[in-house]
Amino acid sequence: MTRSQWAIGLATIVLTIIVGVMSFDYVNRRFPPKPAPVEQVTAQDAKEPTDPAVKTPEACVERDGSWRNWSWPNVPMLSPKCESAK
């Protein structure tokens, strides 16, 4: 590899990175994210008090390595142990 080939390769990589960074604004303006749907609150929902003490059970790892309360196929690293596994 000659010095000129190395310089051409480096220039290509640098220009590709610069053009990619510059295109962020165009892509963000051209394809904006869809707005989040607005929830409709009914009169019955407004009357029901929500209890902050009641929360969904957290995902945890059993002693044998199996997961509890985790519905997705991917498994996060460094998750807490279940109370029964401690």
**Residue whose entry in the numeric block shows the structure tokens 């394809």:** 31
Q: How confident is the model at residue 2 (pLDDT cuts 50, 70, 90)?
A: very high
Residues 6+ apart with CB under 8 A from 68: 57, 59, 60, 61, 62, 82
15-60 pLDDT, tens digit per residue, is: 999 999 999 888 888 887 777 777 776 666 555 555 555 566 777 8
Nearest to 85 by CA among 62, 60, 59, 58: 62
DSSP symbol at 20: H
Q: Between the CA of residue 44 and those of 20, 39, 49, 53, what are the distances in Å?
A: 50, 14, 10, 21
Nearest to 81 by CA among 22, 67, 43, 15: 67
Q: Indicate whether this model's pTM tops 0.75.
A: no
